[in-house]
Amino acid sequence: MKNLNRRNWLKTASLSAAALGTVSCKLNAETTNLKSTASSSNGVIRLSSNENRYAPGPKIKQAMIDAMDLSYLYSPGHYKPLIKKLAEKEGVSEENILLVSGSNEGLRLTGLCYAMNGGEIITSTPTYKALLTYAEEFGGVINTVDLDQDLKFDLEEMEKRVSSKTQMVFLCNPNNPTGTLLDGAITKDFCERVSDKTMVFSDEAYADYIEEADYPTMVPLVKQGKNVIVSRTFSKVYGMAGVRVGYLIARPDIIETMKPRVMGYVNMMGVYGAIAALDDKEFYNFSLQKNKEAKQTIYKVCDDLGLRYVESHTNFVFHQIKKDISVFQTEMMDQGVKVGRPFPPLNDWCRISTGNEEDMKIWEQAMYRVYG
């Protein structure tokens, strides 16, 4: 495997005023960092689940608080304004959007629809498994290809394995846990060819963190009527992981096929929080900037300690640890830091989420102690 560190990386119709209420608040670490027991419980800093420690932004939070006045109502009647804004954001029709309770529900219901009773899904590994594990529980067969030497999806080998029994090809781009990004033109061509043979699912949970102009979102292929499903989430840059808001983008007939299988609903606070999030460019940009700063801290520490890492296109960094992850997890927990879970077969690598400034200082000190 070639060196992957930074130095060698190839560099209802109407919205109540109350529900959309906002507050004027200067964004900085003090005003946006809401410490919760989930993030720093019993003295342990949680950097294991790719959560946004600066969220929710003040305007998003206020919109959710105001929406509590509507919590006695069933929420689907209030979906239309959010779906309309999402369709405008993605450049598609409202019929192309399916709201789901976090992108995980979208992943799982897709796995259920396309892999039940022996359907085959082709993917590379390690990757995010919500769709895959759910598909297996209902009889699906997962055909996995190892990541290539750059820890990216091996598109060439995946395409070779597509056959008449293949019901879906699954991509996670950027990939979780590696944070790697596929080449735009190559991936688009791959998805165009493969979608003529089977369904392609593109998990784009971390799309907001992408700075490359040629990021290969597959939404344009949805617009062309291809067999493509794209998932997005409000859990990352908007910091709404605990509220559960996500959506799928696909052809209207695909959306209509999956809609009856939706098991959860986005709650009222999630609906109005998401509407506010889409309008809150100030917090969006702040969130991206703080994430970049935290990644720079991680890169520097890994450089100092001689640990290889993948330059990340997400809100986490995948770095080598020169020991088994189970040992490293224990060592870091002893220092008050919870890191990511194992991602076999890369058991000598660790996924570390970005945190706020205090989190990163604690993580940095812990790393120097463990490797001191």
Low-confidence ranges of the chain (pLDDT < 50): 1-26, 29-39
| Residue whose token pair is 């220092």 | 335
Q: How far apart are CA 303 and CA 196, in angstroms?
A: 44
pLDDT at 25: 36
Give pTM, 2 decimals.
0.88
| Residue 40: predicted pLDDT | 53
What is residue 304's predicted lDDT score, i.e. its pLDDT?
97
Q: In whole angstroms, what is the distance from residue 222 CA to residue 64 CA?
A: 31
Domain residue ranges in the chain: 42-56+281-370, 62-279
| CATH classification number, 42-56+281-370, choose in 3.90.1150.10, 3.40.50.970, 3.30.200.20, 3.60.15.10 | 3.90.1150.10
pLDDT value, residue 24: 34
Written as one letter, the residue type at 314 is T
Q: What type of residue is 107?
A: L
Distance CA 133, CA 150 (A): 25
Task: Name, in order, each residue with C-beta under 8 angstroms of 359's C-beta and a sequence gap of 6 or more.
Answer: 39, 40, 45, 47, 53, 294
Give me the pLDDT at residue 30, please.
Answer: 45
Q: Which fold has domain 62-279?
A: Aspartate Aminotransferase; domain 2 (3.40.640)
Alpha-carbon span 100 to 148, nearest angstrom: 32
pLDDT tens readout for residues 250-304: 999 999 999 999 988 899 999 999 999 999 999 999 999 999 999 999 999 999 9
Residue 212: the pLDDT is: 87
